[in-house]
Chain A
Amino acid sequence: MTRLRTFPGGAHPDECKELAEKRAVKRIPAPETVRVALCQHLGAPSTPVVKKGDKVTRGQEIGSQNGFISLPTHSPVNGTVAGLEEAPLPHRRSGPVVVISTESEGGGPAFEPWPDFESRTPAELIERIKLAGVCGMGGASFPTYVKLSPPPGKKIDTLLLNGAECEPYLTADHRLMIERTEDVAAGMRILARALCVDDPAVGIEDNKPDAIEAFGKAGIRVEVLRVKYPQGAEKQLIKAVTGREVPVGGLPLDIGVVVQNVGTAAAVAQAVRDGEPSLRRIVTVSGGGVREPGNFDAATGTPFSALIAEAGGYGDDVARLLSGGPMMGLAQFTDAVPVTKGTSGIVALTSKEARRLTEGPCIKCAKCVDACPMKLVPCLIAANSENEKWAAADELGALNCMACGTCSFVCPSDRFLVHYIKRAQDMIRASKRSKEA
């Protein structure tokens, strides 16, 4: 039996994967109208380069890169630009959106396919990954090419693919790994070449034995991870697999590691090998609030409501609609928001599934302290935040909280620990900025 790798702390929420894990990915056609966000990635939104009435083709650039941490945006369909507007988005209150009336989805590759990517230079590969608009598909949506361009002097020796998928309900990465193993493997080789790294590995939780087997057969080094939340968080994954710790305030590249989501790897393969920009992604639609949970391959710009309809529609009780999983996902005010490159799942929770919204007093049971994967003291940071003692919260390491939600999950008093800590982070950052100014 392989040794299961893991990190200290964490929790074990109900996995709830059985709802969708056996459902093969269903490719759904783009809807009549797509609403493509120009800020699907972390960083500056891309600048629109089309105007109302323009004809666009599938894969055409509709937004250009706007600064170092930014990406170009492409049209997922052939059609006509119906307008540019500000609209609600799943990951921020609102942002610029290009509305396109869909005519068809056909057409050849937008870039020259490079089946011989092994002969390309790392610089060429990175440039292609940037032009194709590939960003992290795990949720944070950081532009992938930036991660592949470490500052001079930083030597990368380890590439880890993140196939942990530790969020309850989500099965998109799982389905991708078993249905499109070759794409992920090719993406992994491209990323390894771009970083000049030998022997990359993929980390997968041991509740996905078929994915572990598939990669094993494909000759890829698999690191089997214990099922535990947040096993898929970057720092926790690195700790589990390499034993190294990302320094406080630092990045994985400081210790020579780059982590990429398996979905990102597949997108990289499509961009480089097939000449296809990042236009679609696999989205899990699940939760007790939808009738037929499943996994869908959807064009960016598809409204959540269309995917809910594909999943048989809402059940009788929907307490909350989430973009992402229940631990770190964002509650949505409306299902009119569009799928973006970072939309890993749409989860509709019933009132029974959703966490209670009434909190009791902290009884200092220390469950949050024992569970925090960053080894913080969440209850004390939260107490200082409630008392507006920002300096004390800073001293306790509030800025190192990644908002994984483990503390709130285990809290028997249902306290809004993440909320208090995030508030402290905002205040600490604001005070640091005003000091610098």
Chain B
Amino acid sequence: MAEARTFQLSMSPHFGSPQSTRRVMYDVVIALLPALAGAVWLFGFGGALLPVLLSVAAAVAAEFVCLRLMGRSTSAALDGSAIVTGILLAYNVPPGVPWWLPVLGSVFAIVVGKQAFGGLGSNLVNPALLGRAFLMASFPVLMTAGWSAPFEWRNPSAGFGTSGIPAAQVSALPEADAVTGATPLRAWKDSFGIDEHEGAAVRENLSTPGTYMNLLTGRRGGCIGETSIVLLLLGALYLFVRKVLEWRIPLAYLGAVALFGWILGGPGFLEGDALFSVLTGGAVLGGFFMATDMVTSPVTRRGRIIFGIGAGLITIIIRRWGGYPEGCSYSILLMNLATPLIDRFTRPRMLGEVRKHA
């Protein structure tokens, strides 16, 4: 008989799916690319592409330096997660901001938001959103004023004809500033501070099919990556097909934004515009690409729904009563902090478990 052969021991299972973390991260990168193309179309190479590239480069460099300093394998800098953070950070700054702003934000996101907590998987909040919050707190003027209008880069004399900004708002802006202006959400929010009839007229103007169409296609003021709704949905569809995205968080979040936008988002109770709430600001980008950040969102199924609804409610509250017109990123950051607690209290019913009802 043949000599007995010996083999390596290991723990079961000995079989694995081809899915890998790296593949998940690069799938997210791929899913974000259509919106980048849209951003370049709307805001130009200098306004959109350059900030994104610089932001990604800064994020990867920061990750590399941190890993090197901590004596860890630096190959993890290219696992895709830093690239995702870099893209998302850039998508959350206004087009045309100084180049150093997204770079600074990315470095902060990686160093403070991610590596300080222990790197991939250990961070409490979405690093890109923390980076954005840092920029908002430190450079509020750069981050909220001077929104480039779509197509302004191709035709500097073009006005707001296609941007979805109501005429009343446009005409109120000084001539020299005609290439920049308010976002639809700013216009909407400001409508509550002016004469009652005028405000109602502004909101009426914002709730037209023409405006909705412009909002869907991204022809409005907004952050680099948040305006091209259709292209963001295309990316999300890709993630669904690749089974990277699960429907609960996006559905709960956007559903809550629509519902609470209708209930709380108008001058009176139940007078808000649900569709407008979903299509404006960063709701779609946030709902599909930031609230769904795996590391910082709940792992339980019920937890994901609670998370989405909570973030949607906070978004609307901030939009209506907060200091900024946009509440998406803060709402997700706040819910990120609640994630461990949500997970703890939403353990699923085990197979065969009979729950005692108090």
Contacts and interface: CB of A to CB of B under 8 A. Distances in A.
14 contacts: A14-B15, A247-B354, A250-B352, A305-B4, A326-B14, A331-B14, A355-B13, A355-B16, A361-B122, A374-B351, A377-B348, A400-B350, A405-B13, A412-B24
A419 B6 CA distance: 22
Interface in A15-33: 31-32
Nearest to A167: B15
Given A248-B352, A377-B343, A413-B21, A333 B15 contact: no
B13 A326 contact: yes
B299 interface: yes
A365 B79 CA distance: 15
Contact of A408 (B6, B13, B343): B13
B172 to A, nearest CB: 47
A395 to B, nearest CB: 8
B7 interface: yes
A355 B15 contact: yes
Given A319-B8, A369-B300, A327 B246 contact: no
Given A246-B352, A333-B6, A397 B347 contact: yes
A74 interface: no
Contact of B352 (A235, A367, A403): A235
Interface in B1-44: 1-2, 4-17, 19-21, 23-24
Interface of A: 11, 13-14, 31-32, 168, 235, 239, 245-248, 250, 303, 305-306, 309, 314, 318-322, 326-336, 347, 349, 353-357, 360-367, 369-370, 373-377, 379-380, 396-397, 400, 403, 405, 408-414, 416, 418-419
Contacts of A362: 121
A362 B297 CA distance: 13
Contact of A330 (B12, B17, B121, B294): B12
Given A247-B354, A320-B8, A410-B17, A369 B294 contact: no
Contact of A305 (B1, B12, B23, B343): B1
Contacts of B119: 361
A320 B7 CA distance: 6
A332 B21 contact: no
B347 A11 contact: no
B14 A354 contact: yes
A337 to B, nearest CB: 9
A156 B343 CA distance: 39
Contact of A331 (B7, B21, B300, B347): B7
B15 A168 contact: yes
Interface string B273-316: 00000000000000000000011111111001000000000000
Nearest to B10: A331
A305 B5 contact: yes
Q: What 7 A-B pairs have minimum CB-CB distances, sorted nearest first?
A: A405-B13, A355-B16, A326-B15, A361-B121, A336-B4, A366-B299, A245-B352
Contacts of B296: 364
Contacts of B295: 363-364
A418 B15 contact: no
B357 interface: no
A396 B347 contact: yes
B353 interface: yes
Contact of A363 (B4, B24, B350, B354): B24
Contacts of A336: 4
A333 B1 CA distance: 18
Contacts of A414: 16, 20
B349 interface: yes
B120 interface: yes
Given A247-B352, A377-B347, A13 B15 contact: yes
Contacts of A408: 12-13, 16
Contact of A320 (B10, B23, B350, B352): B10
Nearest to B121: A361
Contacts of B300: 366, 369, 377
Contacts of B354: 247-248
Interface in B102-130: 119-122
A245 B4 contact: no
Kindly name the residue among B120, B122, B296, B353 whose own CB sees the greatest number of chain A CB atoms within 10 A: B353
A397 B5 contact: no
Given A326-B12, A327-B15, A416-B11, 7 more contacts: A168-B15, A305-B4, A320-B10, A321-B7, A333-B9, A362-B121, A412-B24
Contacts of A31: 1
Given A247-B352, A377-B347, A328 B120 contact: no
Contact of A364 (B1, B15, B16, B294): B294
A122 B125 CA distance: 63
Kindly name the residue among B6, B14, B299 whose own CB sees the greatest number of chain A CB atoms within 10 A: B14
A334 B19 contact: no
A239 B17 CA distance: 25
Given A355-B15, A369-B299, A408-B13, A314 B5 contact: yes
A331 B8 contact: yes
